[in-house]
Amino acid sequence: MNQKYFHGRSYNRFSINKSRKFTRRSFGQTINPAKFINKAVAVTQAETFVPANRFSDFNLNHKLMANILAKGYNMPTPIQDKIIPHILKGFDVVGTANTGTGKTGAFLIPLIERIVKNRKEKIIIITPTRELALQINQELKTFTRGMNMYSVCCVGGASIHNQIHELKYSNEFVIGTPGRIKDLIERRILNLSVFSTIVLDEADRMLDMGFINDTRAIISLMPKSHHTLFFSATMGREVESLVKEFLNKPVIVSVKIVETPEGIEQDVVKVGGVDKIEVLHNLLIKKEFRKILIFGRTKFSVERLSKALKARGFSAESIHGNKIHSNRQRALEAFRKDSVKILVATDIAARGLDIPDVTHVINFDVPATYKDYIHRIGRTGRGNKRGKALTFVN
């Protein structure tokens, strides 16, 4: 079956009720399909970023420098270049940047350096999802290899008893999700009065997911003079209000240039009146579709689509909220390591996850909001790589 792409001026067939108040149940019905089309800028037109600093300019510990170089970080990315000096000086910071720009390294590198200089310092990192917490923890381990620094990852879905056991030992870093961190505090396992720094990563997502009250409760238990690092992909009014509430005279660093990275080519696939899975099948068999992340609307539809693709002979896995933590991690690792070609996911995979070399993102179901769309497609075209995003529309 031939899929049909359509462009620019052919949207008069769509009736979008702009006055209709958006609710979660409308699932993207108020998003103009024209917003899903944006041709990537040619590579030859991309400007080369020249950092003001080299990593050596930060006077980092020699072991940390060796680990940075071993990861292939030769020069700081824009967010790293601009924000690391302020974190090293102990300023509260707000950082916004396009996805895939080295944000995690931007806060981990200076915080590790601070611990090198003061081994009594403790840092807590709060993230909205367990996948992001685990990813940060893994990146931390690569930066601190051979440095005798330790961390514990405290997330729901994993054994709280194992986390309680790990917290009995000395850990410079605690990384977790708001609900599990709050649970450990209420059990008197975690004492935040000894933590000098808190990182709020993907703060806008925490706001969306209703975690802000838990985050307030966590921050209230820290020393009054604590250091706060605040990272958000977007800076709307509500997020700006949180900055005023949580931070003290912060340095604001933004390297966001456009809403979507220029390296992502966006287009739509018209599927009105045809079998969507057949259209998807005909896309996936093409050679250029090498590593594909497919987004669905609900847990049920994601699992059903994953099974349908497997039945057609495709190598596919799924992640969604109904899967137990260990199975979600196995699916993610298989996709990261190219053991499977396709990962079908709910929006749980749209934010923060760094999955290398995703060639295509396919919105099998239209996202609920344009912001969700931006974060979904940000899983491809990361850094200076190219990617393609396709959205199925009726």
Structure confidence by residue, pLDDT tens digits, 9-18? 233 323 323 3
pLDDT tens readout for residues 203-242: 888 888 889 999 999 999 999 999 999 998 878 888 899 9
204: Cα within 13 Å, side-chain hemisphere = 19
Per DSSP, helices labelled H in the chain are: 62-70, 78-88, 103-117, 130-143, 160-167, 178-186, 203-208, 212-220, 237-246, 276-284, 299-311, 325-336, 370-377
Q: Which two tokens stand for residue 138?
A: 């893994």
Comparing CA positions, the residue from 309, 319, 304, 262 lying closest to residue 289 is 309
Distance of alpha carbon 288 from alpha carbon 276, whole angstroms: 20
CA distance 194 to 59: 27
What is the radius of gyration, based on Cα positions, of the chain? 22
Q: What is the pLDDT of residue 79?
A: 93
Task: Find out if CATH 3.40.1440.10 is the number for domain 55-254.
Answer: no
Give CATH 3.40.50.300 domain extents, the chain: 11-44+262-393, 55-254
Report whether 310 contacts 334 (CB < 8 A).
Answer: no
Q: What average pLDDT does this structure show over 385-394? A: 90
The one-letter code for the residue type at 108 is: L
CATH architecture of 11-44+262-393: 3-Layer(aba) Sandwich (3.40)
Question: Which residue, chain included where needed, has tokens 């072991």?
Answer: 63
Tokens of 317: 């896995």
The answer to whether residue 177 scores a pLDDT higher than 90 is yes
Q: Is 66 helix (H, G, I), strand (E, B) or coil?
A: helix
Q: Kind and range of the H or E element at 351?
A: none
Cite the DSSP H helix spans in 144-285: 160-167, 178-186, 203-208, 212-220, 237-246, 276-284
The tokens describing 116, both together, are: 């090198």
The H-or-E segment that residue 94 falls in is: strand 93-96
Please give the residue that has the higher pLDDT: either 65 or 274.
65
| Higher-scoring residue by pLDDT: 27, 350 | 350
For 180, the 3-state DSSP assignment is: helix
Strands 227-231 and 173-176, sheet pairing = unpaired
pLDDT tier for residue 258 given thresholds of 50, 70 and 90: low
